Chain A
Amino acid sequence: MSDEAKAASPLRPEDAPPNLYDEHGNARFFADPAMDRFVAVVMNLAQEVWVQEERLLALEEAKSGQSVDKEAKVAEFIGRVFEPVRKA
């Protein structure tokens, strides 16, 4: 759906205060709406870095003949990158 369509006919819980959403019908959490977008940018950026990391791991695997536990690696990576938001 387009933002205009969502905003025009939102299906929302009956008790949802209108200030939970911006003018496009998107959920908002921070006092400054730019922060909501900034969180998304950081996550997208981290994802792209991980894509490059995983490609490097694949090259290293091919070179060494040793397989890498990518699930463990991604958990470590995410833990490191997002450590500052823990215990907010």
Chain B
Amino acid sequence: MTVELQHPMKADATPQETARGRFVSGMRSLILNDLAGDMGEAYEKRAAPKFRKANGRDPETSREAHEALRGDPAFNIYSAMRVQAQKMVWASVADSVERESERLAAEAAKVADVAGGAALNPELDVPKNVHAIDVHLMPGSYTRGADSLEAGAVYDRGLAVFSMGLMGANLDDIGLSMAQYIKLRFPDFAPERILDTGCTIGHNTLPWKQAYPAAEVIAIDAAPGPLAYGSARAKMQGQDVLFQQMCADDLAYEDESFDVVWSSMFLHELSKKQRAKCFEEAYRVLKPGGLVVHMELPPNDQMSAFDGFYLDWDSYYNNEPYYKGYRDEIPANLTARAGFASDDYFDFVVPSISIYGEDAVREAAAGDRAEAVGQETTGRLAEGVMWYGFGAFKK
């Protein structure tokens, strides 16, 4: 199903556009649930045995599982259809965004004086990984339309189709689930200043403001358009969040000035070098007792070869060039190299709060994170999705 956006910048779609979006969501559901299951069966019945015959052992890594599946009919049809469905996601919303550009600007103008806002930096050298490829096959990437509302609107409306209803009514399920988990697991932790890095349109920033209403919340991204859109979107939803154009690996903030540094689905969009610098910067700007916490895809070392390949697919075929490189890293090493103590590191799996409810998140916060990390629903945008996260407190 396609989610209906919860703010005045939602599309005034024609019946044809609504039908196109519904079809694409339905196709993605078929592909990510049914065809993915078929591919898993093909791996067990054909690809892995063929690899075993040739190598005298099972595939041991994501790369070997990929190698085993290349050319298999189930892999071919899953992949070709998934690539096309991804292109159709963005195509299904492009017309309405173009047609409604003036209305979007007018809606944003209505909330121009509301608290919050976007501070753009035209001098910022936007990194290549943000503008030089069509990230996840989104035409024009995050810099489409420069600092207009276009990229944000395409992303927001596209995500409503892409998510198949699995990212919450306000596309904020990741933020809601994670913020609630942290609040429940660390009830005495009361952050006063929270930073979201790589926020795009701030859909997973707002839940932190909701979880900690007294906190000052700042959200940054390198791309200007999504920030302008995200700021208007936040204001329309009554959330006082400041959006600033900035790179997470070069923060213009003072040392020890935040209590939380957070991101969602962001680290895999960075090169290894950028990623390491992000953690150094997070460590620098966190106060003692502050928390770095990231929602991300689970790492390859905690998954089977097939499940690892399944997530790494995006790296090769969805214009996510750093996806696999990120998943090959060990999260505990990322925090440790930046200065966080190893015994302050933790990782966890949170059930989607929209799907499983708050009690399930409470149970997860009270329980052992390890039980769910290896489950095939962890990190997969499919029925039963659960979110992986990790973090560390700064001493």
Contact = CB atoms under 8 A, between A and B. Distances in A.
A53 B127 CA distance: 44
Nearest to B2: A71
Contacts of B134: 1, 6
Contacts of B78: 88
Given A14-B325, A78-B30, A88-B38, A40 B16 contact: no
B23 A50 contact: yes
B132 A1 contact: yes
B1 interface: yes
A34 to B, nearest CB: 12
B85 A20 contact: no
Nearest to B22: A74
A6 B22 contact: no
A46 B63 CA distance: 34
B84 A39 contact: yes
B315 interface: yes
A57 to B, nearest CB: 9
25 contacts: A6-B134, A10-B133, A13-B316, A13-B323, A13-B324, A20-B316, A20-B317, A30-B76, A39-B81, A43-B85, A47-B20, A47-B27, A50-B23, A53-B19, A55-B16, A70-B22, A71-B1, A75-B30, A78-B23, A78-B26, A85-B35, A86-B34, A88-B73, A88-B74, A88-B78
A43 B23 CA distance: 10
Interface of B: 1, 15-16, 18-20, 22-24, 26-27, 29-30, 34-35, 38, 41-42, 63, 73-81, 83-85, 87-88, 128-129, 132-134, 140-141, 315-317, 319, 321-325
A6 to B, nearest CB: 7
Given A27-B83, A86-B38, A71 B22 contact: yes
A35 B321 contact: no
A29 B1 contact: no
A13 B129 CA distance: 12
Contacts of B42: 88
Contacts of B128: 11
Given A39-B81, A47-B24, 10 more contacts: A20-B316, A40-B84, A43-B81, A51-B16, A53-B19, A71-B22, A74-B23, A82-B30, A85-B35, A88-B76
Contact of A87 (B38, B84, B316): B38
B79 A29 contact: yes
Contacts, number: 113
A29 B22 contact: no
In the complex, the 4 A-B pairs of residues with the closest C-beta atoms, listed nearest first: A54-B19, A39-B80, A11-B321, A74-B26
Contacts of A27: 79, 83, 316-317
B307 to A, nearest CB: 18
A5 to B, nearest CB: 8
Contacts of B34: 86
A50 B134 CA distance: 28
A15 B63 contact: yes
Interface in A17-49: 20, 27, 29-30, 35-36, 39-40, 43-44, 46-47
Nearest to A85: B77
Given A27-B79, A54-B15, A71-B22, A13 B1 contact: no
A55 B79 CA distance: 30
Contacts of A12: 316, 321
Contacts of A78: 23, 26-27, 30
A15 to B, nearest CB: 6
Interface in A50-79: 50-51, 53-55, 58, 70-71, 74-75, 77-79
A44 B88 CA distance: 8
Contacts of B80: 29-30, 35-36, 39-40
B324 A43 contact: no
**Residue from A13, A43, A54, A55 having most chain B Cβ neighbours under 10 A:** A13
A11 B22 CA distance: 32
A1 B23 contact: no
Given A1-B133, A39-B81, A43-B84, A13 B23 contact: no
Nearest to B128: A11
Contacts of A16: 315-316
A33 B315 CA distance: 21
